[in-house]
Structure 1
Amino acid sequence: MTRTNVLLLMTDQQRADSVGCFGSPVVETPNLDWLASQGTIFTQAYTPSPSCIPARAALLTGQKPWNTGILGMGRGQGPMGVGFAHTLPGELAKAGYHTQGVGKMHFYPQRTLNGFHHTVLDESGREEDPGFVSDYRKWFQRHKDGDYDITDHGIGWNSWMARPYHAPEHLHPTNWTVNESIEFLKRRDPAKPFFLKTSFARPHSPYDAPAYYFDLYANGGKAIPAPYKGEWASMHDDPEEAARPDAWRGVRSDEEIRRARAGYYGSITHIDHQIGRLLTYMQKIGELDRTLIVFVSDHGDMLGDHNLWRKTYAYDGSARVPLIVRPPRAWGKPARAVVDTPAVLQDLMPTVLDFLGLPIPDTVDGISLKPLMEGKSVGREYIHGEHSTCYSEEQEMQYMTDGKRKYVWLPRIGREQLFDISRDFREERDLSADGDWREELDVWRKRLVAELEPRGAGLTDGGRLVSQAGKPFLVSPRYRERLEASPYKWMS
């Protein structure tokens, strides 16, 4: 058996432009930049569904959201559940790997393994199973030095507000996640290669970076970029929603946005330093150079772009993610250091299996990215993503992109958008009403029809897209199939 280990480093809600090697002039990520210098950066990597559960299900299974049955969060989607035929940790476990998940898994039931041998969990504030308390919360309670809890700073799990972490830095969940990853490496079965998923709960809000990292951006003289504001962004100028401390849209003050970004960027640099600590330990025990390392996030964060916060949107702040793949050092550097062919999260399972010479299950929808790293073509023209209604019917969406153009359909308000992201990466100018772009708009519309027509779900009719206004929420039949086959009552 190959001795190649696999380390999957995953952040939560990290946008692609918040990493130095992806072009950020502000955010310091020296360890990620170093990994990228030895591997391949995928500049046009996207999430197939920009919120936690559907994105993570796609990565776990190699399937598109329609086939996992999870098209979003809420409104008939329910939790992730169980019953997937094949998962990445499950396939590696069958191949003789010792598999461990550390941090945020977002599974339900929360202690289900979905192919892992073991998980050690930080599920932020989620306590969905009767009696469930996360491993991180138990550890925090044992090690704190006062009468306070994990979010006594007063900032919610989806808030735009920000402030420095309220407890000593060593108690932060980012540190704990690396502590537990190192502990696994100390206690793993040394006779087997390992698959370790180190899954951070940040930079997802609360934007509560430890004081050193918060001050690095808030008070360190760094030029925090202003949010992008499209000509069309006034559709999200919602004063009533904006007044909420966890608003999903609306105008906030320049200072509030700057503070949010300082906390968010500080969380990313904090994560990067802790990743460096993990890599240093792996080097010390002689495992770093024989480990395939993948760094990715599940989705991004709008951070005030276009008067939007959080995720679920087709715009790059929400939908484009950082993706770095670094082969074991003994294999040499990939032929291509930068790939601009579109990639999507369901590609990661076949990519890892391909690198290891393991069979790829026929349930997998994604493609291996290994040929792209070797300078070959894979014949992919574009990728598709979607999200069902969550915050409001207005934000349900379908999108397609080839990394140069992006087409967006908002089915419940009957609106299309087209962006030339090769020239307008800020997505500030919607070209859908521009006559010069009518033919290209029609090309993208037909592509989306071709993607959705086989579902027979009422999204198309005779080659047209059909408005979903007033219709029941879209639910994939795959979701119901897994529910009925499951011994758990994980969907009401």
Structure 2
Amino acid sequence: MTKNILFIMFDQLRWDYLSCYGHPHLHTPNIDRLASMGVRFDRAYIQSPICGSSRMSTYTGRYVHSHGASYNGIPLKVGEMTMGDHLRALGMGCHLVGKTHMRADAEGMARLGLAADSLIGARVAECGFDVYERDDGMRPEGPDGFYDDFGALKYNDYLREQGYEGDNPWHDHANSGVDDEGNVLSGWFLKNAVQQANIAEHDSETPYLTRRGMEFIEQADGPWCCHLSYIKPHWPYIVPAPYHDMFGPEHITPVVRSQAEFENAHPVLKGFMTNPIGKAFSRAEVRDAVIPAYMGLIKQVDDQMGVLFDWLETTGRMKDTVIVLTSDHGDFLGDHWMGEKTFFQDASTRVPLIIYDPSPEADATRGTVCEDLVESIDLAPTFVDIAGGDAGALGHILEGRSLMPILHGTQKGPLREFAICEYDYSAMPLAETLGVSTQDAVLFMVATKRWKMIHAEGGFPPILFDLLNDPDELVDLGESEDHADVRADMYAKLNEWARRPSQRTTRSDAQLVEMRTKSRGRGIVLGVYDETEVPLELTVKYRGRTAKDHR
């Protein structure tokens, strides 16, 4: 029986801010419960430390280097296949409830005559999903207008129906506090992270999306894949009661950074440390305000997972639905003198990944922890296998590897030797500050279980961390003479990855093999001196023929 897939993704959820991953104060019993029912992956890496490009890799099963959507706002080009395309070909619907951060390739669609309101055009414009509700969760407004003209539109309509007034209740209520005089205390200002969001908890973004997800499942005809994509705990860092004051400074884990790390930082890394976000999160008062709110957002997330999982149990869906829970990246929160996510330490690039498979074949691995290096691009081929397809036959088209052998306990040896992550900072002010061209403003991470190396184009030295002896990634060995051999080996791995045939996507491996001999039966007999040198049936059209002499 083909199972359904509930693909849950959170935005900016750090891997180590769940109790099943070891957080000492933030207890997440519902997500822990899912881990006890399935497999928890302990070394899962994203393919880019920023929302848009990370998600495009997850949805296509391809590295950023392959799909080209290397930064927020850079479109996923027309022609890139997504998990929706692969799943629909196998008879499984693929639907969206929540965020994708997808930017449509409007120019490419116009060139090909694809109208956005056509069935094909809508799927191309929505990253391959059939949209139940898209909500990228962002409706900021500045002097030049809205950041996203379509952000949170339906959610704002919902809030107005519930009596929340104003031209942008997403900001004024869901993501801001209010003082006794009714003045809005904007969640954009980090000092207000300690405030109670001016909204009933039931109406805030996380419970709202949970209900929308359940409404989709309730009416869905199977088999289906539902991408339930939550906006939180992404900033603005502000949370409704009772979560706004559940945690305090005493629950904040010690910051992971050192003065030597800052003073000796690689030029590109120093640029991230000293940008406005890095400077802000280097301040104790910022961490003291933000981290308890961030923890409150995660606690609310976990409580909503309890609502969702209990409902799946009650409705019988736990028996026929694979549940995948992950994040698109982490959040530095002041670690390594940075905020946000745009570099390569584990706080940013390592994410939680938990997969529950209800089938009997997965019984042997329930409650286990997988230490293999896995990547977000592994989810698309895993879903293809769940839908009854053969992900292996798609070869270089899906660059990830199916996790089904791990889930069913049949995996022989490690899944891969190294993981890859990429970041393009060409659209950031940092590129100009460093005097780096748009061609050179790119970074590549290659990580094994022992080592992590970051290569920076533009003539910069590499960065190297020893994950065994320096798990906090504080000491850069990128120019250490004692580690030259390690760097050479890591560069060999990076170069091996760069040589893969990633753009050869219009033919599968099987089709390429078939092409090796296909033309022989169609009259191509190159290099044949005498008809007896090849099987006679291949030259039957060339022998025993007569023609009138026109010489």
Q: Secondary structure at the match of 1:444?
A: helix
Other-structure match for 1:472: none
Length, aligned pairs only: 447
Instruction: Indicate how the Cα distance of structure 1 residues 254 and 79 shifts in structure 2: closer, same or farther if over 3 A, else same.
Output: same
1:116: Cα distance to partner? 2.3
Bigger-Rg structure (1/2): 2
Q: In structure 2, how many angstroms separate the alpha carbons of the residues matched to 1:157 and 1:88?
A: 34
Q: Secondary structure at the match of 2:48?
A: coil
Q: Secondary structure at the match of 1:137?
A: helix
1:85: Cα distance to partner? 4.1
Instruction: Indicate how the Cα distance of structure 1 residues 213 and 237 shifts in structure 2: closer, same or farther if over 3 A, else same.
Output: farther
Other-structure match for 1:174: 206
Work out whether residues 69 and 75 of structure 2, in 8 Å CA contact, stay in contact via their aligned partners in 1. yes
Q: Secondary structure at the match of 2:477?
A: coil
Is there any run of 5+ residues in structure 1 with no aligned partner, and where?
Answer: 457-475, 479-492
Task: Say whether 1:382 aligns with 2:422.
Answer: no
Q: Secondary structure at the match of 2:485?
A: helix
Q: In structure 2, how many angstroms separate the alpha carbons of the residues matched to 1:292 and 1:388?
A: 34
Q: Secondary structure at the match of 1:13?
A: coil
Summarize deviations over 1:334-389 as a string: whole Å, max 9, x none: 43711111111111011122233313334111111222331432551101111011
Q: In structure 2, how many angstroms separate the alpha carbons of the residues matched to 1:79 and 1:436?
A: 40
Other-structure match for 1:144: 163
Other-structure match for 2:90: 95
Q: In structure 1, how many angstroms separate the alpha carbons of the residues matched to 2:401 and 2:187?
A: 37
Instruction: Indicate how the Cα distance of structure 1 residues 107 and 10 shifts in structure 2: closer, same or farther if over 3 A, else same.
Output: same
1:250: Cα distance to partner? 5.2
Q: In structure 2, how many angstroms separate the alpha carbons of the residues matched to 1:32 and 1:100?
A: 23
Which one has more relative contact order, counting CA pairs under 8 Å at least 6 apart? 1
Q: Secondary structure at the match of 1:198?
A: strand
Q: In structure 1, how many angstroms separate the alpha carbons of the residues matched to 2:64 and 2:337?
A: 27
Q: In structure 2, how many angstroms separate the alpha carbons of the residues matched to 1:10 and 1:133?
A: 17
Q: In structure 1, how many angstroms separate the alpha carbons of the residues matched to 2:343 and 2:371?
A: 21
Going by fraction, where is helix more abundant, 1 or 2? 2
Other-structure match for 1:351: 382
Q: Secondary structure at the match of 2:420?
A: strand
Instruction: Indicate how the Cα distance of structure 1 residues 47 and 278 shifts in structure 2: closer, same or farther if over 3 A, else same.
Output: same
Q: Give the RMSD, CA atoms, in angstroms.
A: 3.0
Other-structure match for 1:34: 33
Q: In structure 2, how many angstroms separate the alpha carbons of the residues matched to 1:250 and 1:287?
A: 45
Alignment of 1:67-106 (within 5 A): 67-73=66-72, 78-81=73-76, 83-106=78-101
Q: In structure 2, how many angstroms separate the alpha carbons of the residues matched to 1:265 and 1:239?
A: 24
Q: In structure 1, how many angstroms separate the alpha carbons of the residues matched to 2:79 and 2:26?
A: 37
Q: In structure 1, how many angstroms separate the alpha carbons of the residues matched to 2:406 and 2:504?
A: 33
Work out whether residues 190 and 289 of structure 2, in 8 Å CA contact, stay in contact via their aligned partners in 1. no
Other-structure match for 1:273: 303
Moved more, 139-148 or 122-131: 122-131
Other-structure match for 2:102: 107
Q: In structure 2, how many angstroms separate the alpha carbons of the residues matched to 1:364 and 1:158?
A: 41
TM-score (norm 2): 0.74
Other-structure match for 1:425: 471
Other-structure match for 1:52: 51
Other-structure match for 1:414: 460
Q: Supply the AA of the counterpart residue of 1:431.
A: L
Summarize deviations over 1:181-233 as a string: whole Å, max 9, x none: 011122222xx2221111110111111122322311127xx531122114322
Work out whether residues 14 and 299 of structure 1, in 8 Å CA contact, stay in contact via their aligned partners in 2. yes
Other-structure match for 1:465: none
Work out whether residues 71 and 388 of structure 1, in 8 Å CA contact, stay in contact via their aligned partners in 2. yes
Q: Supply the AA of the counterpart residue of 1:97.
A: M
Work out whether residues 461 and 479 of structure 2, in 8 Å CA contact, stay in contact via their aligned partners in 1. no
TM-score (norm 1): 0.83
State percent identity of aligned pairs.
27
Summarize deviations over 1:17-66 as a string: whole Å, max 9, x none: 11111121122211111111111111110111111111111111111111
Summarize deviations over 1:264-322 as a string: whole Å, max 9, x none: 11111111111111111111111112211111111111111111110121111111111
Instruction: Indicate how the Cα distance of structure 1 residues 115 and 414 shifts in structure 2: closer, same or farther if over 3 A, else same.
Output: same
Work out whether residues 399 and 407 of structure 1, in 8 Å CA contact, stay in contact via their aligned partners in 2. yes
Other-structure match for 2:254: 226
Q: In structure 1, how many angstroms separate the alpha carbons of the residues matched to 2:64 and 2:357?
A: 28
Work out whether residues 84 and 93 of structure 2, in 8 Å CA contact, stay in contact via their aligned partners in 1. no
Work out whether residues 70 and 424 of structure 2, in 8 Å CA contact, stay in contact via their aligned partners in 1. yes
Q: Supply the AA of the counterpart residue of 2:204.
A: H
Q: In structure 2, how many angstroms separate the alpha carbons of the residues matched to 1:435 and 1:241?
A: 28
Other-structure match for 1:207: 237
Other-structure match for 1:293: 323
Work out whether residues 329 and 351 of structure 2, in 8 Å CA contact, stay in contact via their aligned partners in 1. yes
Instruction: Indicate how the Cα distance of structure 1 residues 280 and 256 shifts in structure 2: closer, same or farther if over 3 A, else same.
Output: same
Work out whether residues 138 and 148 of structure 2, in 8 Å CA contact, stay in contact via their aligned partners in 1. no
Moved more, 395-404 or 205-214: 395-404
Moved more, 112-121 or 122-131: 122-131
Q: Supply the AA of the counterpart residue of 1:371.
A: P
Other-structure match for 1:461: none
1:444: Cα distance to partner? 1.2
Instruction: Indicate how the Cα distance of structure 1 residues 332 and 364 shifts in structure 2: closer, same or farther if over 3 A, else same.
Output: closer
Q: Secondary structure at the match of 2:127?
A: coil
Residue 445 (structure 1) aligned to one of 472, 479, 491: 491
Work out whether residues 90 and 388 of structure 2, in 8 Å CA contact, stay in contact via their aligned partners in 1. no
Q: In structure 1, how many angstroms separate the alpha carbons of the residues matched to 2:30 and 2:272?
A: 40
Q: In structure 2, how many angstroms separate the alpha carbons of the residues matched to 1:237 and 1:279?
A: 43
Q: In structure 1, how many angstroms separate the alpha carbons of the residues matched to 2:193 and 2:231?
A: 16
Instruction: Indicate how the Cα distance of structure 1 residues 255 and 315 shifts in structure 2: closer, same or farther if over 3 A, else same.
Output: same
Is there any run of 5+ residues in structure 2 with no aligned partner, and where?
Answer: 105-115, 117-121, 140-145, 177-184, 435-440, 506-551
Q: Supply the AA of the counterpart residue of 2:133.
A: V
Q: Supply the AA of the counterpart residue of 1:302.
A: F
Instruction: Indicate how the Cα distance of structure 1 residues 217 and 417 shifts in structure 2: closer, same or farther if over 3 A, else same.
Output: same
